[in-house]
Chain A
């Protein structure tokens, strides 16, 4: 296994409110290696974005309680002072976001905004920083980068803006890139280009990528490791190949079954009934039990352990592994039948 970049242990994020704590992330652990893409999947409110914002120190300090450990380069990110965290942010760990329309400042030139990321971390001249910005814009596939660097964001298309965001993220040669729903706001044709670009820069810059998405399709195309989150908890995690070939958790099944494919029409998609629970009052036992078709006695009482089945594949479910294999094969048969 290649070098470990980021080691998150027991990350818990709570937002205190008048009605009690909102537990956005509970006891999340994962490891990110150099050259690896970790796909974090889940519905809205599953804690996938919040966990990354917590690592970046981008949550409002006064209104959040963060515990756990996130080791990066021998330092615990969660206990760093704001100033030390600022030095890491955008330099060693960079982040891009969902909506490239809203993420670039509308009043500054694209090139200047990227150059600003350079000067924030190194004392170089403005023109040197701008040269570096142009170099990166060129690297992410912006044609005539020198000219386009003088444009304002509204003169860029959505895909180009996301490219510019990626250029901004890479400008300081980070070792970790966190991409929070990077393709959700883009046209489908552009989505694939951006995913390819992220893959390419991962290889060329030899970095680790955390790809946050609600779209299993995106994950299946790019991720090496998949982490499925529900109600702030990791439900299943493992090598992408294993998770897609032999998904363990009924929630993962639900996500896979509700994924449209070219030969499966909407009426045949199996949606997961119900909606995610309020994070103020997470159901006792397994948080997924009210929506789970397979729930039985222990599910409403006891939270299942995240137990390991072979190959570093982790699963948080009370159902026995053999039974699950049979159920999943049956579900897939139904699905293939519907497609015909």
Chain B
């Protein structure tokens, strides 16, 4: 098991290096025009161009540039670790931008993930166990609504009903948890639910299908033949075996959302990583965009690692492969 985990971590490191190379190539090597021009924003002065060239090492050969890029990322630069460079539009380091924005997105994802896992998996189990009953049909109706409701519409409707009309929650914006916990919750509850709905619907359907498949397996018949109660059969024998596709999806979904739950952040004006990415793109602030892309890529790699380790805990066949 330890060996397995060590091997996976090593692989994750290799993948991150490859990701760095691709990001570097896409943003620094491939552009036909002078990267310094694009870094400099809308009205570059010769002084700022020179400064940028100096900072980015653009007068060096490409492999040396890549070396500096990787070295900065791995060992950090003058703004801290990991080194992500300096934003020329907001005049702060990208790292400080990211560390300011990241908690908002992470809290958004965390809360939504808890809601969609609990709601989605429960509904899925219920509808698989009570297959073809009224409850199952209602659950599948919920799935259809959840999957087909656009987040921007749902978000605006939720704001209109719960903030404008009923006044139960706070409106758009973000209040840090450390400053005002109640305000934080009041601001986050709608975005959590709105973001969770789509995923809850997808997870409900996936849980239902996966559990139904599993319940048709021979070892479930064995479990029943032993005289186990139906509850044990479903939760101990059925659910565990049907969790693999759900864990895979969960890892990927979390990772993708780290790259920006852009629509939800926009509707509720949370100004997290997604907002940072959009802002950076609109202002041609390449270091910021690279920073968010790197964070998203690292999130994908790390979540994959966690999923792999989760598999190994869940299924002994993976451990001994």
A116 contacts across to B, CB distance below 8 A: 226, 228
Query: How does the 8 Å CB contact mask read for B306-321 relative to A, with 1 for contact and 0 for none?
Result: 0000000011110010
CB within 8 Å of A: which B269-321 residues: 314-317, 320
B65-93 contacts to A, CB under 8 A, are none
Residue B221 is within 8 A (CB to CB) of chain A in the complex = yes
Docked pose: A201 CA to B225 CA in angstroms: 19
User: With contacts A58-B224, A90-B226 known, is A103 near B315, CB below 8 A?
Assistant: no
Whether A87 lies near B227 (C-beta < 8 A) is yes
User: Which B204-244 residues sit within 8 Å CB-CB of chain A?
Assistant: 217-219, 221-229, 232, 237, 240-241
Q: Scoring A residues 142 to 169 as 1 if CB is less than 8 Å from chain B, else 0, what string do you get?
A: 0000000000101100000000010010
With an 8 A cutoff between CB atoms, is A126 at the interface?
Answer: no
Residues of chain A with a CB closer than 8 A to B232's CB? 120
Whether A105 contacts B225 by the Cβ 8 Å rule is no
Do the beta carbons of B227 and A107 come within 8 Å of each other?
no
Chain A residues whose C-beta falls within 8 Å of the C-beta of B229 in the assembled complex: 86, 120
On A, residues with C-beta under 8 Å from B are 56, 58, 86-91, 94-95, 97, 99, 102-107, 116-117, 120-121, 152, 154-155, 165, 168
Which residues of A sit under 8 angstroms from B240, Cβ to Cβ? 107
4 tightest A-B CB contacts, nearest first: A90-B227, A102-B218, A90-B226, A117-B226
Sampled A-B contacts (6; CB under 8 Å): A58-B224, A89-B226, A116-B228, A152-B317, A168-B222, A168-B226
Q: A89-B227, A117-B226 are in contact. List 10 more A-B contacts (CB 8 A).
A: A95-B225, A97-B221, A99-B218, A104-B219, A106-B241, A106-B317, A107-B241, A107-B314, A116-B228, A154-B320
**CB pair B317 A154 closer than 8 Å:** yes
Which of B223, B227, B229, B316 gathers the greatest number of chain A CB atoms within 10 Å? Answer: B227
Q: Which residues of B contact A95 (CB under 8 A)?
A: 225
CB distance from B10 to the nearest CB of A (A): 26
Give Cα A92 to B317, complex, Å. 33
Residue of B nearest to A169 (CB): B225
Contact A58 B225, beta carbon cutoff 8 Å: yes
CB distance from A147 to the nearest CB of B (A): 15
Known interface pairs A97-B218, A104-B219, A105-B219; A152-B316 also in contact (CB < 8 Å)? yes
Bound state CA distance, A91 and B219, in angstroms? 18
CB neighbours of A58 from chain B (8 A): 221, 224-225
Which of B221, B228, B316 makes the CB contact (< 8 A) with A103? Answer: B221
Q: How far is the CA of A102 from the CA of B223 in the complex (A)?
A: 12
Partner of A117, one of B217, B227, B316, B317: B227
Do B227 and A103 touch (CB < 8 A)?
Answer: no
Q: Mark B5-31, 1 if CB is under 8 A from A, else 0.
A: 000000000000000000000000000
A299 → B minimal CB distance (Å): 38
A120 to B224, CA, bound (A): 10
A97-B218, A103-B218, A106-B241 known; A89-B224 Cβ under 8 A: yes
| Proximity bits, B229-266, A CB within 8 Å = 1, else 0 | 10010000100110000000000000000000000000
Instruction: Give Cα A168 to B219, complex, Å.
Output: 13
A290 to B253, CA, bound (A): 59
Rounded to whole angstroms, the CA-CA distance of A248 and B317 in the bound complex is 51
Contact at A105–B221, with CB atoms within 8 Å?
A: no
Which A residue sits closest to B220, measured CB to CB? Answer: A105
Chain A residues in 8 Å Cβ range of B221: 58, 97, 103
Interfacial chain B residues near A91, Cβ < 8 Å: 227
Contact A56 B315 (CB under 8 A): no
Which residues of A lie under 8 Å from residue B226 when comparing CB positions? 89-90, 116-117, 120, 168
The chain B residue sitting closest to A178, CB to CB, is: B225
Q: Are B241 and A120 in contact (CB under 8 A)?
A: no
User: What distance in Å separates the Cβ of B4 from its nearest Cβ neighbour in chain A?
Assistant: 15
B316 near A154 with CB under 8 A, answer yes
Contact in complex: A94, B225 (CB < 8 Å): yes
CB–CB A102/B219 < 8 A: yes
Please give, as numbers and ranges, the residues of chain B lying within 8 Å of A106 by CB-CB distance: 219, 241, 315-317
Closest to A155 in B: B320
Contacts of A90 in B (CB 8 A): 225-228
CB of B228 within 8 A of CB of A120, answer yes
A97 CA / B228 CA spacing, docked (Å): 17
Contacts of B314 in A (CB 8 A): 107
Complex CA–CA separation, A323 to B315 (angstroms): 62
Q: Is the CB of B222 within 8 A of A103?
A: yes
Q: Nearest chain-B residue to A119 (Cβ)?
A: B228
Complex Cα gap A156–B317 (Å): 12
A89 in contact with B317 (CB, 8 Å) = no
Q: How far is the CB of B320 from chain A (nearest CB, A)?
A: 7
Question: Which residues of B139-167 have CB atoms within 8 Å of chain A's CB atoms?
Answer: none
- Distance between Cα atoms of A88 and B224 in the complex (Å): 11
Contacting pair A120 B225 (CB below 8 A): no
